[in-house]
Amino acid sequence: MSELSAEAQQKLLQLKQEYLVSFPEKVNQLQTCWQNLESKKFAANEINSLGTLLHKIAGSAGSHEMYDIHSAAHSAEQICKSAEMADMDSSSLMADLKSSYERLIELMQELS
Amino acid sequence: MSEHIEKIAENLYALTARKMKPLIVAIDDDNSFVSHYGELSDYKLPQFEKGQSCVEELPFLVGLEDETYVTLPIVNFNDDNVSSVNIIRINSNRYVILLEAVDEHQREQQVTQSSNETKLLYQKLQQLTQQLEIANQTKSRFISGMSHEFRTPISSILGYSNLLARNNSLNVDEVQQARAIERNAQYLLSLIDNVLEHAQLEADKLTVSIAPFLLNDLIVNIGLMFGSDEQSDGLTFNLETSESLPEVIYSDQIRLQQILINIIGNAFKYTEEGFVTVNFDWLDEELVVKVTDSGPGIPIEYQANIFQAYSRYNSGSKKGAGLGLNISAQLAEKLQGKLELKSQLGKGSVFTLMLKAKVGSSDSIIKDIDISKNQAKKVLVVEDDEDLVEILKIYLDEYGYKTIIADSGEVALQKCETEAIDLVLLDMQLPKLSGVEVVRNLRSSQFKTPIIGMTASSNNEDKVKALEAGCDEFLSKPIQHTSLLSAINNILNHHV
């Protein structure tokens, strides 16, 4: 129960490699989302789109045991949620979001 | 005799008259003065001329209903006169009877003041209650938030130390050091879980799920967990079972196992040499589990508080937050049971768990959780993240489950209607139709298949929401294959 079979581990490894190959595309999606966010002055819809993307990255990266990426994506997702819940575009919140977003992009680009 | 009564009556009248200062003012229909009886000066009233209007001095006459008898309990008039007023109509005249009511007025004021003070105190109490509730919510949010803040870096430490320990280029010492990091990170994670669980119990948000299960499964699990050489660490581990044990009982297998793991784990932790014996028995419709060890024992002065939160004995040499026994005792209570301790310094300890449980029938449960039996079981994975779906599919394939995929809540509802599904694995943070909405929708349409909710949130409120909506179990992301399999097996094993 504690160890997966060699076949399953192999499949997971292959999946992880495919996942890594998808990073440039994911980074592109994140960057497009971020540009939209900035051009529309952090509108609620754009924050929601970014949050959804970050949520997916946090979930999948964690399951691939890529904990740094999981952590950075999750932190940024939490900030998006806070901004949505508070219905605000506080500059400090957005500065935090930008910093988490940039950290995530940096980590993903390192592995691309 | 009657002479005395008359005298007493006269004195009584004089006394009452002095006290109440009765004044009768007769007026006509135009409120003009006719005559009076008593002292006008007692009420600071002038000597009225016949036919003079009394309205200015007796303002309460204005707008008064023209009835035979009118009573005004307390009237404040004409420069702070306080009187009770009775007005009686006889023919064309009305007789205004004034009686001084200063004392009564004062009493009334005191009652009003007291009532106002009570209201103020009540308001204050409400404010304090609200403040406490807010403080409690803040505490829960803080604990939940901190748990996430701790969990993320610890997960990272766990992951990397695990990778490090598997690295072939490390020598034996380095592998041991990496394992030590991993062990301690695991320990920190269990501490956080305990703090969270304690907070849940305090807030009465921890639920138990009573279902029939094979008692032998639990006993075998305990044997596997503590019977290995690595785990027993030189101690003798005895597992004893009574012949009177029923095959199936109704309780919460996961919580029961949690209590036992805690007590047995403690016995191993504190016993340097000798044995740990676990005895399962059935007495008077109660499951009785005794955990006996040959450890150092617990001094009598520590025994009274041993089940209190943050209470620890031997804190100098062994690690822990002092929450394990408190959680176990509270869980035992939730399962209609109790946990007791008998111990003597130098002669070891005996922890006894007594649990009231209904005996069930083996026909009512899925007996075998052998992986080969899962071949036919269909698990619906509701997840919008394709990457995660692929990982879950590998895990489920590995253990023989057939995977059906739905990438949205809407598709999941369709699949549940058209396909025979044994279990639903549901992301609670789906776009559009959320996980909670999907569960509510399914449960309201009598969909009884077990549902396991999954979320990346460590917030306890999300877990409570999922369980309240109708989920049977809850998993935190990132999903580990062992926790996924364990949750699925437990659910399918529990589900009647």
- Torsion angle, alpha carbons of B211, B212, B215, B220, to 10: -70
Same domain, B37 and B145: no
Asked if A57 and A25 count as a contact pair (C-beta separation under 8 A), the reply is: no
pLDDT of residue B433: 86
Same domain, B270 and B393: no
Is residue A11 less than 8 Å (CB to CB) from chain B? yes
Same domain, B267 and B378: no
Instruction: Indicate the residue among B100, B131, B158 that finishes a domain.
Output: B100
Residue B391 has its nearest CB partner, among A15, A67, A71, at A15
Residues of chain B that touch chain A, judged by Cβ-Cβ distance less than 8 Å: 152-153, 155-156, 159-160, 163, 384-385, 387-388, 390-391, 394-395, 397-398, 427, 429, 431, 456, 477-479, 481-482, 485-486
Which residues numbered 51-90 in A keep a CB inside 8 Å of some CB on B? 52, 55-56, 58-65, 67-68, 70-71, 74-75, 77
Any idea which of B93-97, B115-119, B406-410, B461-465 has the lowest mean pLDDT?
B461-465
pLDDT band at A107 (very low <50, low <70, confident <90, very high): very high
With CB atoms and an 8 Å threshold, state whether A63 touches B479. yes
The model's pLDDT over B437-473, given as tens digits with 9 standing for 90+, comes to 999 889 888 898 999 998 876 555 666 678 778 888 8
Residue B110 belongs to some domain of the structure: no
Mean pLDDT score across all residues of chain A: 82
**Maximum average pLDDT range among A62-76, B189-203, B369-383:** A62-76
Q: Which of B58, B67, B101 is nearest to B87 (CA)?
A: B67
How far A56 CA sits from the closest chain B CA (Å)? 6
Residue B108 belongs to some domain of the structure: no
Determine which helix (DSSP H) or strand (DSSP E) holds A5, and give its type and residue range.
none
How far B343 CA sits from the closest chain A CA (Å)? 36
- State what percent of residues in chain B have pLDDT above 70: 84
Chain B residue at shortest CA distance from A60: B388
Degrees, nearest 5: CA angle B345-B349-B351: 145
The model's pLDDT over B33-43, given as tens digits with 9 standing for 90+, comes to 999 998 898 88
Chain B residue at shortest CA distance from A26: B387
Residue B398 has its nearest CB partner, among A4, A52, A77, at A4
CATH number of the domain to which B424 belongs: 3.40.50.2300
Q: What is the mean pLDDT of residues B103-118?
A: 86
Same domain, B20 and B74: yes
Is B315 a residue whose pLDDT tops 60?
Answer: no
Same domain, B78 and B164: no
Interface test with B, best of A74, A77, A81, A85 (most B CBs within 10 A): A74
Is residue A26 less than 8 Å (CB to CB) from chain B? no
Q: What is the mean pLDDT of residues B197-215?
A: 73
3-class SS at A50? helix
pLDDT of residue B191: 74
Contacts with A4 from chain B: Cβ below 8 Å: 395, 398, 481
The domains of chain A, with CATH numbers, are: 10-111 (1.20.120.160)
pLDDT band at B368 (very low <50, low <70, confident <90, very high): very low
Same domain, B62 and B195: no
- State what percent of residues in chain A have pLDDT above 90: 30
How far B433 CA sits from the closest chain A CA (Å)? 14
ipTM higher than threshold 0.90: no
Q: What is the mean pLDDT of residues A100-110?
A: 91
Q: What is the mean pLDDT of residues B191-205?
A: 72
Same domain, B216 and B337: yes
With CB atoms and an 8 Å threshold, state whether B388 touches A56. yes
pLDDT of residue B88: 92
pLDDT of residue B276: 94
Q: How far apart are CA A16 and CA A10, in angstroms?
A: 10
CATH number of the domain to which B49 belongs: 3.30.450
Residue B432 belongs to some domain of the structure: yes
How far B358 CA sits from the closest chain A CA (Å)? 30
CATH number of the domain to which B341 belongs: 3.30.565.10
With CB atoms and an 8 Å threshold, state whether A70 touches B388. no
Is residue A1 less than 8 Å (CB to CB) from chain B? yes
Domain that holds residue B157: 119-202
With CB atoms and an 8 Å threshold, state whether A71 touches B156. yes
With CB atoms and an 8 Å threshold, state whether B486 touches A60. no
Is B69 a residue whose pLDDT tops 80?
Answer: yes
Any idea which of A71-85, B70-84, B145-159, B315-329 has the lowest mean pLDDT?
B145-159
Q: What is the mean pLDDT of residues B78-86?
A: 83
The model's pLDDT over B416-444, given as tens digits with 9 standing for 90+, comes to 999 999 999 999 888 788 898 999 889 88
As to burial, measured by CB atoms within 10 angstroms (0-12 exposed, 13-18 middle, 19+ buried), residue A35 is exposed
Same domain, B320 and B178: no
| Per-residue CA distances from B413 to B297, B338, B379, B408, B409 (Å) | 57, 43, 14, 9, 6
The 3-class secondary structure across chain B, one letter per residue, is CHHHHHHHHHHHHHHHHHHHCCEEEEECCCCEEEEEECCHHHHCCCCCCCCCECCCCCHHHCCCCCCCEEEEEEEEECCCEEEEEEEEEECCEEEEEEEECHHHHHHHHHHHHHHHHHHHHHHHHHHHHHHHHHHHHHHHHHHHHHHHHHHHHHHHHHHHHHHHHCCCCCCHHHHHHHHHHHHHHHHHHHHHHHHHHHHHHHCCCCCCCCEEEEHHHHHHHHHHHHCCHHHHCCCEEEEEECCCCCCEEEECHHHHHHHHHHHHHHHHHHCCCCEEEEEEEEECCEEEEEEEECCCCCCHHHHCCCCCCCCCCCCCCCCCCCCHHHHHHHHHHHCCEEEEEEECCCCCEEEEEEEECEEECHHHCCCCCCHHHHCCCEEEEECCCHHHHHHHHHHHHHCCCEEEEECCHHHHHHHHHHCCCCEEEEECCCCCCCHHHHHHHHHHCCCCCCEEEEECCCCHHHHHHHHHHCCCEEEECCCCHHHHHHHHHHHHHHCC
3-class SS at A55? helix
How far A24 CA sits from the closest chain B CA (Å)? 15
Residue B111 belongs to some domain of the structure: no
With CB atoms and an 8 Å threshold, state whether B478 touches A62. yes
The model's pLDDT over B255-283, given as tens digits with 9 standing for 90+, comes to 888 899 889 988 998 898 899 999 999 99
A33 versus A65: the higher-pLDDT residue is: A33
B101 versus A26: the higher-pLDDT residue is: A26
* Structural domains in chain B (count): 4
Residue B114 belongs to some domain of the structure: no
Same domain, B167 and B50: no
Same domain, B31 and B133: no
Is B490 a residue whose pLDDT tops 60?
Answer: yes
